[in-house]
Amino acid sequence: MNLTIEVNNNTIEAKQGETILDVLNRHGMSVPTLCHMKGLFPTGSCRMCVVEVEGRRNLVTACSEPVMPGMKIKTHSSRVIESRKTIVELLLSNHPDDCLYCERNGNCELQKLSEDLNVRERRISGTKNNYKLDVSSASIVRDPAKCILCGRCVRVCDEIEGVSAIEFVGRGSKTFIDTSFNHGLNLSTCINCGQCIMVCPTGALKEKPHISEIKNNLSDPSKTVVIQYAPSISVSLAEEFGFQPGHNIIGLMNAALRRIGFDFVFDTSFSADLTIMEEASELVHRITNQGVLPMITSCCPGWVKYAEEFSHDMLPHLSSCKSPQQMMGAIIKSYFAETEGLAPENIYSVSVMPCTAKKFEQQREEMTQNGISDVDAVLTTRELARLIRMHGIDINKLEPELADSPLGTRSSAGKLFGSSGGVMEAAIRTAHYFVTGKEMVKFQVKGVRGLEGRKEAFVQMGDLRVGVAVVSGLKNAADIIEEVRNGRSDIHFIEVMACPGGCINGGGQPIGADEDAIRARMRTLYDIDEKDAIKVSHKNPYIVELYDKFLGKPLGHKSHHLLHTHYQKRDIF
Ligand code: SF4
Ligand code: SF4
């Protein structure tokens, strides 16, 4: 039912059941928020979004207050602004004064609120927090001293990921965010997804930095430093340099990476094609040999750790394929090293990932050959942007360049890995070919596309009717796993990504992107697929050559040794 309300003396339409904040946003008006998270139940705890409602003695929180017919609202009265300003001053009263050194300087919501509300002096002095930095995790650094207790990280960890690695601890002014029993994040159930970083308004959460180590290796003449970048990076890095969301800057990125000093530049979409060759073969083998079904993808390291901790009964369902990052790492230090006449120990292998969990994956013991890591360091998209700026490179002035061959050549199926549903679509295309000996008439599998947290489809492959499901956000994964446990048997293959929408919205991507930006990134990946000539992994000529010259056949002895792995049950507190 529609109703009318008055906002700042203007009459506007509202719908029954909407909150004041919903209505304001729909009409292009804004009030500041801190604890609010779109799509999650409002708590109104930070009180930053307060507005004045005629007839009400106290200010009300716009995020949680439903609209009523005839409501008269003031969003920026003196009383409202003073109240918001006081909240910010209180938050600043015990906040560390080290903005100039902070990761989020220039991109901090607290800093912006302070600026917007014209906070120009310290009227309230509080005792500074003395919390320890938690650097125990391979992926995430927590700085509780910078935390303003908005609770967003706790909610995303619990309500989107279903992990609950962090929680409010203590009471009153002694409240802080911590892991169970005050153990470091590395001993918690944290799956390293980085979604908490994406929602944190301040610098209280950030990725574990790898830039210094990479710089040291770049200046070591004994090292050949190679870099690979994940399929989604070229469509998200652009935003760090002022381009429109979804703008594809792959050529400029290749050029920038060479200016920084990387000796070889490779595209992880190549090893995404390789993953598909192995994974589609594994799927067909399982289906035709009564193997464990449904098979579940294993390229998301956040999901893999979640399965090891919370769903170890599902580990036999996980594909044994390493992720594209690790496959590329293994191929670089074997096939590439051999063809270039390089010793694997003299290759320093870097990857750029949309993901903080990749920093954890890279350090897993299983991801080594003869004591040498497949991948040596991982940069997030944000860190790559920082590295480019650090080198004084004006990306706008570069001429586009191609990645190095052969490990920089991909099909468009490999590129689709960047979006939720992309691995599935790429795998279906190749599995169809393996089963029927024919290409699909139409390559698009519309049922697995889009940003929804759960998608299902059925695909005909000759006489086989294959059921597939795609989930992102591990709360959604938990639901479908429960269905499998309860005997659901019409689904043969499940793609799981920890981050909602997949890698285009990974925990290492630029901070502050809204849903429109994520959609724009996704659209670009599908546009690339639409335009490219080679749409299936098994037709990538360099993949064919890699099998001919080096690997033999998918699931063969060499592939098994280099490209497959195993998982382990992990105990949790
Ligand atoms: S990285 Fe993911 S799992 Fe770990 S605390 Fe943050 S949201 Fe939770
Ligand atoms: S760590 Fe960040 S997201 Fe979490 S409560 Fe503190 S300020 Fe909010």
User: In the listed set 14, 48, 76, which residue is the last one of a domain according to the structure?
Assistant: 76
In-domain check, residue 568: no
Residue whose CB lies within 8 A of the most ligand 1 atoms, among 161, 178, 309, for a mutation test: 161
Q: What is the pLDDT of residue 130?
A: 82
What are φ and ψ of residue 74, in 5° steps? -115, 120
Please, which pLDDT band fits residue 572 given cuts at 50, 70 and 90? confident
Judge whether 454 and 568 are in contact, CB under 8 Å: no
- Separation of alpha carbons 42 and 294, rounded Å: 37
Cβ-Cβ contacts under 8 Å for 85 (sequence gap 6 or more): 117, 118, 119
158 alpha carbon – ligand 1 mean position (Å): 9
CATH number for 180: 3.30.70.20
**Do 256 and 302 fall within a single domain?**
yes
Residue 477 sits in a domain of what CATH number? Answer: 3.40.50.1780
Residues ≥6 apart with Cβ < 8 Å to 104: 111, 202, 203, 206, 511
65 and 6 in one domain? Answer: yes
Residue 167 shares a structural domain with residue 296: no
Q: How would residue 202 be classed by pLDDT, with cut points 50, 70 and 90?
A: very high
Active site residue 358: yes
Of the candidates 425, 422, 475, the residue with the CA atom closest to the CA atom of residue 193: 475
> How many other CB atoms sit within 10 Å of the CB of residue 264?
21
| 85 within some domain | no
- Indicate the average pLDDT of the chain: 96
| Residue 31: C-alpha distances to residues 36, 149, 201, 541 (Å) | 11, 19, 16, 54
User: Is the distance from CB of 79 to CB of 59 less than 8 angstroms?
Assistant: yes
Cβ-Cβ contacts under 8 Å for 23 (sequence gap 6 or more): 5, 7, 12, 14, 15, 67
Clarify whether residues 253 and 388 are in a common domain: yes
For the stretch 399-414, pLDDT in tens is: 999 999 899 899 999 9
Residue 507 tokens, joined: 């925990």
Query: Active-site residue among 161, 239, 279, 383?
Result: 279
**Token couple for 533:** 């000539």
- Kindly state if the Cβ of 202 falls inside 6 Å of ligand 2: yes
Q: Tell how far the Cα of 92 is from the centroid of ligand 1, in angstroms.
A: 25
Strands (E) across 473-553 are located at: 493-497
% pLDDT > 90, the chain: 94
Of the pLDDT bands very low, low, confident and very high (cuts 50, 70, 90), residue 482 is very high
Ligand 1 centroid to residue 476 C-alpha, Å: 16
Mark whether 136 and 216 lie in a shared domain: no
pLDDT of residue 520: 98
Query: Mind listing the pLDDT tens digit for each residue in 457-470?
Result: 999 999 999 999 99
Q: Which residue has the tokens 């992880």?
A: 268
Eight-class DSSP state of 242: T
281 noted as active-site residue:
no
* Residue 171 located in a structural domain: yes
Which residue in the block uniquely carries the two structure tokens 């191609």? 402
pLDDT at 257 over 90: yes
Start-end of H helices in 60-210: 78-93, 109-116, 152-155, 195-199
Residue 81 lies in a domain: no
Half-sphere CA count of 398, side-chain side, radius 13 A: 21
User: Tokens in use for 70?
Assistant: 């005839």
Q: Give the model confidence (pLDDT) of 328-382 as tens digits.
A: 999 999 999 999 999 999 999 999 999 999 999 999 999 999 999 999 999 999 9
Assess whether 402 and 507 both reside in one domain: yes
Q: With a cut of 80, say whether residue 539 has pLDDT above it.
A: yes
Q: Are 259 and 223 in contact (CB under 8 A)?
A: no
Task: Look up 503 and say whether it is catalytic.
Answer: yes
Domain count, the chain: 3
Closest by CA position to 536, among listed 442, 462, 398, 396: 442
Residue 101 lies in a domain: yes
Residue 198, ligand 1, Cβ within 6 A: no
Give the residue from 207, 242, 262 where a domain finishes: 207
Whole-number pLDDT of residue 172: 85
Do 400 and 259 contact (CB within 8 A), yes or no?
A: no
pLDDT digits (tens, 9 = 90+) for 494-503: 999 999 999 9
Q: In which band, very low, low, confident or very high, does the pLDDT at 180 lie, cut at 50, 70 and 90?
A: confident
Which pair of structure tokens corresponds to residue 368? 């080594």
Q: Which of 488, 444, 491 is nearest to 467 (CA)?
A: 491
Of 76, 101, 134, at which residue does a domain stop?
76
Tokens of 466: 């294959």
In the chain, count of helices (H) and strands (E)? 19, 19
- Same domain as 179, residue 50: no
Residue in 358, 359, 415, 455 annotated catalytic: 358
Tell me which residue range forms the domain holding 185: 90-207
Q: Are residues 157 and 246 in the same domain?
A: no
* Residue whose structure tokens are 């790559």: 384
Tell me: pLDDT of 40 over 80.
Answer: yes
Q: Whose CA is nearest to atom 3 of ligand 1?
A: 190
Q: Which residue out of 282, 308, 309, 495 is catalytically annotated?
A: 282
Same domain membership, residue 415 and residue 268: yes
| pLDDT for the residue 204 | 97
Kindly state the average pLDDT of the residues 7-12.
96
Q: Is residue 272 part of a domain?
A: yes
pLDDT tens across 273-301, in order?
A: 999 999 999 999 999 999 999 999 999 99
- Mean pLDDT check: name the lowest of 29-33, 84-88, 421-425, 568-572: 568-572
Question: How confident is residue 129, by pLDDT bands cut at 50, 70 and 90?
Answer: confident
What type of residue sits at position 422?
G
Mean pLDDT value across residues 527-531: 97
Beta-carbon-side half-sphere exposure of residue 442 (alpha carbons within 13 Å): 6
Note whether 368 and 310 are same-domain residues: yes
Reply yes or no on whether the pLDDT at 1 is more than 90. no
Q: Kindly state the average pLDDT of the residues 427-432.
A: 97
Per residue in 51-76, pLDDT (tens digit) is 999 999 999 999 999 999 999 999 99
Amino acid at the residue 24: L
> What is the CATH number for 46?
3.10.20.740
Q: What is the pTM of this model?
A: 0.96
**Per-residue pLDDT, 173:** 82
Does residue 171 share a domain with residue 110? yes
Q: What is the Å distance from ligand 1's center to 356 Cα?
A: 10
Angle at the Cα of 236 (from 231 to 238), degrees rounded to 5? 120
- CA neighbor of 494 nearest in space, from 519, 512, 517, 476: 476
The pLDDT of 426-444, averaged and rounded, is 96
For residues 202 and 217, membership in a common domain is answered with: no
Does residue 82 fall inside a structural domain?
no
Ligand 2 atom with the shortest distance to the CA of 200: 3
Structure confidence at residue 218 as a pLDDT band (50, 70, 90): very high
545 CA from centroid of ligand 1 (Å): 40
Tell whether 550 is covered by a domain. yes
Distance CA 429, CA 426 (A): 5
* pLDDT value at 7 more than 90: yes
Containing H/E element for 522? helix 515-531
More confident residue, 162 or 181: 162
Longest Cα separation, the chain: 80
